[in-house]
Structures are given as structure tokens and as C-alpha cells.
Structure 1
Amino acid sequence: MTAAAAERTARPCPECGARMPVDARFTVWCAACEWNVDPVRAAEGEPPGLLERRRRELARRHGERLLREVADGVPLKARRDVASVLAQVLAVLVHGVTVTLVVLGAWCLVAGWGTPLPVLGLLLLCVAWPLRPRFGEAPDDVPLLRRDDAPALFALVDEVAEAAGTRGVDLIAVDDEFNASVCAYGLRGHRLLTIGLPLWEVLTPPQRTALLGHELGHFANGDTRHGRLTWTAEQSLEAWWYFLAPTPRPDAWTVVAVNVITFLPWLLVQGLRLLLDQLTLRAGQRGEYLADRVSAEVGGREGAIGVIDRHLVADSVLTALARERNRTALRTSRAAGAPDPADGLWDRLVAHVGSVPEHEFDRLRRAGTRRGHTVDATHPPTHLRRHCLTLGPAGPARIVVDTAREARIADELADARRKVARRVLGARY
């Protein structure tokens, strides 16, 4: 909707009387007094769960403290504080329990032959097996790109990685999430970059470069939460928590034999999970700010800010994709020669995001400031990340992707775009 059309459909604010633009697709709100700026928060109230509220509050505090440091001229750099060191120690202790179980189990099998000890040894080894460190593996349910499949895309990733001060990735996965991420998998620590097409497609070329800079910046800055030691310890603790969790709706025998016996160990494991989460939270916050800085360096400040703003309309993007899926599901069959709905899905999504008016972005930014919106509870509040990017002089983007290069990358992603589009739509036509 154009500004002139919005003015023609404007109506007065019930609180202050200021004119409000009206777009039937989005929330009507007042920029003057912020009436109805966040109706969802007003209806839902605080996030459910004491733990989730506590994590969000800590994320806000750490984010504000780091932002003040940047504003005061304190250099923002990766560093090992006491909490990070304690997190590493705790992770070693968690893995030490698993190693102890393996050693004791093996000793019982070898030294106790001819006695009941081997039974205990087998039991210890069976317990240790699901608690072993999980190094992950490449996904097998989404399109995967290797260097021979997408040389132009890998060349861009390598260029961004070099600018960030790290190495590139070994594999690129393309999925249907409104997200992007990096991780290491396998014993040798191969690097995986996952690109969610719903996010990638609605970004401009500078924003895509900035997105790659942010993700690879996590590797460059030694983010504790992305470290294999603490990450695998979290997986082991989660396995402990799962096995020790009280049985829901137990009978009398289960209460005595299982729940009462496992309750205290389960409570201890839950405490260790929370402790490890809190010890890595501040380092994780710093890692996000550092990754944003890399994002701005390689893709430019506007590109980095654009990526953050695009996350504000994630719900709108997911709603648009749901409409596309429902519309496709209503078609009982597709006539011969009719266009495949998957072919134009991403173009329609780009058009939808392009039609979101600026006053809706403004509302989402203000609502995010009020509620402390984050990508998740481990990220600093989005408005703080955005404000941090505006501090200091803005330099030019170190990497600029021209039209020809962008076209080559698009060609390399064409098959993945089609497969993921069909997956989004359900592929039942």
C-alpha cells in the first residue's frame, strides 16, 4: 500500500486522535501514543514458565550490559571469563561421568569373570552408551550441496569466512526453516552451514552476505555455546534428564520403584543443565554481538540491520507459507500442462514481504523493544542488537556480490529451491 493510499484509508486513534494508516492485513496502531502497538503481548501476558521468563530477563540484562560497554568505547572482543572457564570444567566433569561408567563397566567384565560382576559391567556399559558424546552427522532429509554442486556459493562462503578470520564449510544444507545456522559434525569436526530458504529468499544480496558473515562469525569468535565440548555435554545432560524424568500418571508401584528413587538424581541433572546454560549465557550474548559485527563488516551496516529486521516478520512469512500450503491442499489435482505451484512459491513470498509497509516494521520494532523480543532466549534482545550496529562509523561492505555472481548462485540453488518448495507445499498435487 502506498503512503497516499494509506492516508486515504487512515482513521483517528481512539486514544489521542492522531491519524493511523489502515492496512487490513496488519495491526492498526498509533505511532503517536503507541496505542495497540503490541496486541499479542496484551492478550497473552508474560511468557509461560518461570525458567523461560528468567532466561529472557538474563538475556536482556547481559545484552544491555554489553551494549553499554560498546557505547562507552570498550572493545568488543571474544574473551574467556570465569563463567566460560567454569562451563568448560563442568562439561569435562559431565563427560568424565560417562568415561567412569565405561571404565568401571569394562573392569567388571574383565576382572569379575566367574562372578556376578560382569552383569553389573554390562549394565554400566548399557547406561554409558546413550550418554556418550554425540558429534552429530549430516542431515539426510534435506537437499545437500557440496563444492562440486555449488562452486559459486561455496566461493562466496569461503570469501566471507576469510574476511571473518576463519575457514569455510564442508557442506551446505538447504531446508524450509526461517533461519540459518552453522555447526560442526562428525569426529573430524566437519562444518555444516544450513540455509533456510524462506529466510534466504526474502533477503537482498547484501543481506545474504551479511547473514553468511553472522553465521561464520560464530566460528571465528570461538563462541562457547557453539563449542563442541559444551555442546556435547549439553546433549549428555539432556539424555540423563530424559532417562531420569518422572513417569507421568504413575501407578503406586511405579511411584515407589521409579519416581521416588530417580527424583533426586533427576533434580540434580536439571540443576546441572540450568547451571551450564547460565554459565554459557553471557559468552553466548557476546558471541551474538561479535557475529553481528562480522555481519556488518562483510555485508555492510544496512545489510546487517536488514537481516535483523527481516526476522521481525518471521511470523508473517510463516503465515504466508501456510496459506500457500492450504491453497495447494485444496486442489484435488493439477490439470495437465498447468503450472506447478512450487515454481512460483518463492517469488510470491518475496512479493509478500516486499508489500509489508514500513509502519508495520516500525510497529514490530517498537513492540520488540517493549517485550524484549529475541530470536530465542539465548540471543540478546533484537532491538539491542540493532542499536549496537548503529554505533560507530559505518564502513563500506567488504564483499559485494554483483548481478552475474548472484545469478550463478541462484542457478546452483535452483534444484534445492524446487525440492524445498514442494516440501513446503506438501507435494500432494
Structure 2
Amino acid sequence: MGRVGRQEESERFRRIGNRIGRSFIPFVALAQALQLAFPVPGARWLTFELIVLGAIALLTSPWWWRRRLELSPTARLTMAAFLALVAYGIVSLLLHPEPVVTAPGGGPVPKIFVLVPLLTAVAAMFAGVGMVLSAERAQRMRILAWGGLAALVVAFLGWPFQSAHRNYVRLATGQGGAAIIHVMFLIIVALGLAQYVRGRRPWLTAGLVFGGLAAVIATQSRGAIVNIGAWLSLIAAGWLIHYPKDSRKLWPVGLALMVGVFSLPFVPGLSRITSFEEPKRAENLLTALNIWSQDPVTMAFGTGPGRVWPWYAYESGLYPMPGGDYTRFAPTPFGDILLTPHSTPLAMLVELGIVGALLGLLMGASLLLGWWRSRTSLARLIVSSATLACLVAFLVDTYLLRNFGISMWWWATIALVSSWQEATDEERAARAHPARRGAD
């Protein structure tokens, strides 16, 4: 937002906004312990997740609307493309017949069960962006960093309880299972490393980086290893292209790579992490593509949301889940298919057709352009690279269209990077007057 817009904001508006922004810290801590994705008793088509994220989006709406122009054009394009994707999904849902669960004991699924996830995806976007924009620029990075530390502490404290609930030893939290929560942990590591580069609170940055990496390893997620590799590669590529003579600043990246390589033999569950064979996902992919390619109309416009993977019917308890977990198959005329897409791009292509895939590509292209423009500082590049690296994770799970606690973090980092405040007035003043650092 321009200078005039900032002057129009009252002191009360800024003060309340900062308090709302700081509420992100206790919220994400609480969310690690609570299963917000659970349906509401008596209205199982509704979830606590939609209620909470919708309330946050509404609460922060004066700030994200007033400060929307603080977001970069690429970030606004990413959000607009996602809104168009969801709007198209809702129209497609209305034009297609009801989804049907083909597994034994299944049946038709009322459309409201599919509409709720689409609305929750939008609520997660506005909640993540709103929590960031509600705070003033100088506070946003610190709020997310402290939120990350709070999330890590509660995640480790709740590990035994989550393991008992989910029947596996891998680290999971209330915001997601072991296969998906690593995205949040990667973002937390990136925030810590960015804070280190900016010279802020060494103990906090150490807690975020080492605690986040320990959490990533504890998930024993194969996708996490690929994600971290993509993140570090993007940092190195972006910095060396922009500042080829200043490569010495990348020594934390090199150190992270060496520590990762030397620690692999000591990681529990190493055989699982280093094995990338996924015959079930491969079969799911082939069956889904067979369904998508059945005729030109389906290829162009998709099958309709929820008609291939009516996962919400299982999670809401509308119909029993075959085998009790998502590793089982459901029969279709085209072959067996998993109970969830296990890939955001695959879900976009098959259920929303080429139209949905093109909107997804537009999002990816705008993110790539935003990453390219984030090379103004190493700290900003570190966080932006983590955001872009998450696209790799989207290949193997449905974060934006199903895992809304994680997508809220992702949208928050997009808002942070696109409204980034460089080390200018505030940080120079803090360096010139050390006594003021506590207020920064």
C-alpha cells in the first residue's frame, strides 16, 4: 500500500491489527493439539476447520482488504487464480451429478459434502493472508517465527498422544499426519534461517532451524527429503544468479547439506525415507488418467469435484472407509483407485479438467515469478524458496484442496514474502539505537 494509505490508518486500527496478528502464535500452537478437521456432531458435512478458518478470515478482513495492495502483483495473481479455480470447481459441482462412493457399503454423496472443502480452501487462504496483513510490516516476520516455535514445542509435546491416536510412531500433529506436516516444518526451518541471516535472536533461530529439521526427520516422510533438496537448490540458484560474487553468504546452506548427508545413517526409519517406490500411487495415477481421458469433454472440463475421490464422505463418517485407512483401494469401471488423489495437480486435472490444470499452472508461474523477484535479499529468498519448494510437495498430496491447516501456513508465507520489508528504516534505526531493538 502506498504512503497515503498508511497515513489514513488510525493508531487504533494498527494497534488492534497487531494484536490480531500476534494471536497467530497461540492459535497455531493450539491447532497442533486439536483435530480441527473433524466434522461437527449433528452436522457432519460441516467441520470445525471451516468454522475456525472462516472466523479468522472474517476477523482479519478489514486488514487484508485495506492492505491488499501491499501484496505484490504476483501474489495477488496467485490468489486470484486460486479463487477462479475454486469458483470453477463450485460451478462444475453444480453441473455434474452427485458423487458416488463405489466401495462396499457406499452410495451417493450429497453435494454439500464436496462444497465444504472448497469453501474451506478459500477460508484457509484468506485466514493465512489475513493473519499476516493484520500486523504491521515490521512485526510480520517475528510473529511467524514465534508461531513456528510455538508450533514445534506443542508438536513434540503432543507426539506420544498423536502416535497413540494414529497408530504409528512417526511425528504427526493435530494439523496433519506425518505424510503432510513436513511442509509446515520446512516453512518453520526457512523462517529460522531467514531470521539468522537477518541477525535476529540467535537462540530463537537455532530453535527454529534445528527443531524444525528434527521434526522433519521425525516424520520419516520421503517427500520431505525431496522438498528440502528443492528448497536448498532454489536458495543456491537464486543467490548465485543475483550475487555470484557473494557466494560466501550461502555457507549455512552448505552446512545444512553436509549435516543432512552425515546424519542420514543415524536417522530412524532410514529405509523408508530412502525408498521411493510407490506402486499404489502409480496405480492410482494410471487409473485416474484413464478416467480423465475417457472422452474429450471430460479431458477439457473434468469429471467434477469429488466424483473420482469422494474422500470427504469417508472423513465425515457418511460411509465407512474401506480397510480403515487411505492406503486401500476403491473399485471403479476403469480400475482400482486410492481413496484420495494424493496429488494436488492430479486432482485439478482429473476432476477439473484442462481448465483447472491451466489455472493451477497460472498459480505456479506467478509463484515462480514472485520467487525470481524475491532475490533482493538472502532472507527473503530463503522464505520464498521454501514457498516455491512446496509445489514439489503438492505433487504427492492434496495440500491446497484438502489439508487446510498446512495450506494456511503456505498462504501466510506468500503474504509475508510479497509484502516483505527490507532492512531499511526500521532495522537501520534499531542498529543505530540498540535500546530500541526490544520494540522491533
Counting helix residues as a fraction of each chain, which structure ranks higher?
2
TM-score, with length taken from structure 2 = 0.23
**Greater RCO structure (CA 8 Å; 6+ sep):** 2
TM-score, with length taken from structure 1 = 0.24
Larger Rg: 1
